[in-house]
Every structure is written in C-alpha cells, then in structure tokens.
C-alpha cells in the first residue's frame, strides 16, 4: 500500500495509505476518521476486501462462517454506512461494491462465500434505493475468475496438476482466459466517474 501511495505522490497527487482490517468495526471507524481528517471528504468508496476457503456447508464451523461473513459482508455494510454519512454531508458520492459471480451461481464447496456475495448484491440494491435522494450512486461488479492470488490458491489443491487443472477450467470460459485485475479496476473507475452519469444537455453541451 505504501509503495502505491508513493507512486501516486510522484504523479503530483495526494495519497494516504492506512492499514485496516475490513472485518473489524473498531478499525473501520478509525479508518474513516483518518481519511476525513487528511482529505476532508470522501467522494468514492470501493468495497473490495474479501476472503474465501473451501469447506462443505455440512462441515462449516462458526469460526469459518464468521471469518468470511465479517470480512465479505459485515465489514462492507458498516464501512459504507460510515462513509455514506460523509457523502450525505457533501451532497454526492459513489460507492462500488465488488461481489462475485458466486453470488448468483453457487460455488461448490464454498457455500458460505456464495451466500456472502449474494448478500453484497442485495446490499447494493438496498443502498442504491435508500441513498438515491442524497445523490449517492451505488453499483456492484460481480466478476468471474480473475487472476489473483486467491484464484491461484484454488488450483494449489491439484499439486503437480495445478497448471493442467487451471487450463482445463479456463477453456470453459468464453474468452478462454481468466480476467485481469485491471479490467475490474477500469470498471470501478468508470462507475466512479462522471463518464457513467447522465448529463443535463443544457449544462453539458452534449
């Protein structure tokens, strides 16, 4: 985070890196307070924190359930609550929640993850409806397979056959490849920018 923040500063932009656990509410409040203290307002919130592990629901423990729900859904819910109050004071804001295709289509041996991501999709609909009058736009991105360490960890269970298993899986994707993180970042950037908004023709010239 600090390396990225330094790169941003080299571009002449303000930047702030803060370590925080998205599943712990006391840390979320501190995170929001520090950002507002330094930057004075929050225009965009991207809820991207998430985790997963593989376990059949019949064997699910309370600790396993809580670890996924707290980070993927509970943290998202309460972080956007704190940030939305700041956005309401400013009269505008953009929130982008990162869900997953698993929130629509069950991911085998990972039902708790699918349940959490389905909750993210519904939370997005609730936020968008409740906060529209405050000029806060809320959208959700639900990616499929994306090349990340989390994605690679899925195939680590195949041992020496990991590359073959990954290749066989990606062959089932219409584009014959997993997505790149940049593709999700670009979508989030679009949804957080004026490019995704409708303009009043009299003011915009469009």
Active site residues: 113
Do residues 164 and 116 touch, judged by C-beta distance below 8 A? no
Helices (H), 11-110: 25-39, 62-69, 75-90
The residues pairing with 141 across neighbouring beta strands, listed in sequence order, are 98
Give the span between the Cα atoms of 42 and 149, in whole angstroms: 29
Residue 204 Cα distances to 43, 57, 89, 147, 198, angstroms: 21, 52, 25, 38, 10
SS3 label, residue 104: coil
Helices (H), the chain: 2-10, 25-39, 62-69, 75-90, 111-131, 149-155, 162-170, 181-191, 201-204
Where are the strands (E) in 32-189, listed by range?
44-47, 93-98, 136-141
């Amino acid at each position: 985070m600090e390396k990225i923040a330094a790169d941003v500063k080299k571009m002449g932009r303000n930047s702030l890196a803060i370590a925080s656990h998205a599943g712990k509410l006391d840390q979320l409040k501190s995170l929001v307070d520090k950002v507002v203290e330094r930057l004075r307002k929050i225009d965009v919130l991207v809820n991207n924190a998430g985790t997963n592990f593989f376990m059949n629901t019949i064997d699910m423990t309370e600790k396993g359930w809580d670890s996924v729900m707290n980070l993927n859904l509970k943290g998202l819910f309460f972080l956007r609550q704190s940030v939305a109050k700041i956005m309401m004071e400013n009269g505008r804001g953009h929130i982008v929640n990162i869900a997953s295709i698993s929130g629509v289509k069950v991911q085998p041996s990972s039902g708790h993850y699918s349940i959490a991501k389905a909750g993210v999709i519904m939370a997005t609909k609730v936020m968008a409806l409740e906060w529209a009058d405050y000029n806060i736009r809320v959208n959700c991105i639900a990616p499929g397979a994306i090349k990340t360490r989390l994605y690679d960890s899925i195939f680590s269970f195949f041992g020496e056959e990991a590359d073959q298993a990954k290749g066989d899986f990606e062959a089932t994707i219409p584009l014959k490849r997993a997505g790149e993180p940049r593709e999700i970042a670009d979508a989030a950037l679009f949804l957080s920018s004026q490019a995704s908004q409708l303009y009043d023709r009299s003011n915009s010239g469009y």
